[in-house]
A and B are shown apart, each in its own frame.
Chain A
Amino acid sequence: MSEDDGRVVFEPKIVGFLCNWCSYAGADKAGGLQRSYPPNVNIIRVMCSGRVDPQFVLKAYSAGADGVLILACHLGDCHYKEGNYHAMQRHRMLLRILSEHGIENERCRFDYVSAADGDKFVKIMNEMVYTIRELGPMDRLNCWSDNKLKQGG
């Protein structure tokens, strides 16, 4: 939480999985251009978006993330040819599971950022933080503490 004109603003925790070859380079580009973006996103560099096992996303939520971002090379540009297709297909499927579990799709965003897309990277960061701030905290785990668990408790 941070203070803004005396108002308490929710500062979401966001985990961003960025592929090494395009999106991480895009983030670097934004840094090189000295663009500023909110500090809420903890970036994890992966060799390929195809390496992002959906378990990583769920684990991020269970460890307290309010949102997860997966950034990949544009289709056709994957360093390993197929990795971003797999990542995209997994993401489409993961969204179905998340919806059924009552977790808003906006909490898991997939997008494409190339090494030259510094500005797009900054835009995605801003949008993500804004969206999750609107949605509020995930508050997912430990919501079944023992006293809430029991009937009449």
Chain B
Amino acid sequence: MIQDLLKSNGKAILLGNEAIIRGALEAGLQFVSTYPGTPASEIGNSFYKIAKQANVYFEFSTNEKVAMEATMGASFAGLKCLVAMKNFGLNVASDSLLPFLYTGSKGPTVILAADDPQCHSSAQSEENSRGFSYLGHIPTLEPSDAQECKDFTKLAFQLSLKFKTPIMVRLTTRVAHQKMPVVLGVLPKPKAFLAKFVRNQKRFVTMPPRVLEMHQELLQKIKDIQKHAETSIVNITINQKSKIKNQKYKSKIKDGEAKNAGIITSGVAYLHTREAMDLVGMEAPILKLGFFYPLPEEKIKKFIKPLKKVLIVEELDPYLEKEVERLARIVNPKLQIFGKNVLPEVGELNPDNTAIGVAKLFGKTYNPKIIQPTKKLKHLPRFCTGWPTCPYWKLYAAVKQAAPQGTVFGGDIGCYMIAALPPHSLYDYLISMGSGVGIGHGVKKALQISSGQAQKQKVIAFIGDGTFLHAGISGLMNSVYNKSGLLLIILDNSITAMTGHQVNPSMGKDSSGEEIEPVKIENIVKALNVKNIAVIDQEENYNQLVATIKEFVNSGETSVIIARHICGLLAKRQEKAKKD
């Protein structure tokens, strides 16, 4: 728990994300920047509470690209840095991230990326950040449990120091949101920060022709790290003999089936594999990889060389499987490779679907007697009920009342995504942060330049205050500049609610919780030359909201309504805090 993060030693139950924090603190962390996104959100939320006490600088940056750049700058100036985000954040940050690998880090730097197989807390896509490891040549570690979250993070700082490159630690939901007893290490004594920016154009200016040399140097670095990975303690072989323990199977399975089988796995899939072996009653040697990139190729070759069959247990895309196939062609062309032919490529792994794969490796099946519910019931997420109310109930009621038939509704990312679900079932598209207005512009433009009825069709896009500040401003500017004339409704509930109520520049508190002058969204909108602007509290002036939507949507100009009313849950908490 969070109160254990600064405990001097011993053991504590930590969430994977908390263990990341503890590992970074044990490594002597100085500078943290992040942007919230589940399943990485608790990292920022916890630092928000403990940063001062832990003697680290912490900020919620305004988006992930900015968070990445903040960390890059602090690293260039020599501080020990951590930057954390969810998978989609990496997409936003990638433009600066890729050259960061060319310059390398000066102060040791760890990039934390959290994936969400099964999309438990993500719309958008079932993104696999492992792709970025290849794209950017980012050395990448994959912990499987909370203990490893701590240990691997600490190790990542050491690697970063040694090889002068940022190291990525990649989590998935079942690692980030897993709790277990973690053996704590020693926290270093607080020291004064000694940052110093030493001019070094050769290192920090990525202009050609130097940039090509940097590329070459990066490839060499990766080779060196690969050599290191071959003997690294994070790649381990569990040398149990392959055998069948389950008496029931023993008599039925041909002798050869169990012999010379092995499993390669990493991350949480390793834990499911161990569990699956218990479930199926079979054992096989395991190569557990802590390094995803670069892979310890010699170690893998040595592992697969004596095998007849190997099973690769990994979530989502078969990155490891493809590498093993390539290496097997060199050392063991007859090797039978099992992977995505027996395990799902979509959705997360669990002990059960892993057990099915493990059983198949031995030519068996696994099907326990599961009683299925006769009805598939599901509570869908909905806007909070109770008092103080969620401001979105009224907002969407007004929209439904005011919008002309055939209006195209553009969704965006935040609590207001819920309006995509019944009973509202409102949005016609919903893609990524800031895209509601960006895509809305394209839709409206396409209609505008067409002949006939299409020209009359309206577009209303929605965006939260958090998302507007993250990625909405340039989309709105584009709509004004290129005159598409859509209506953007900015849902200003004065907080980044969805991801756990983080402060943002519009809510009047900075990253340390201190009061600041809030950024006024209407000032930004004005500066973009939006002509029709209205700020309306939907709880106070419902009728005015309905009338204004009607007026603006028919105006033909790019217009903005800022619907400003505090998040109900936040209001409830503030009231409670006052009482206590």
A binds B: no
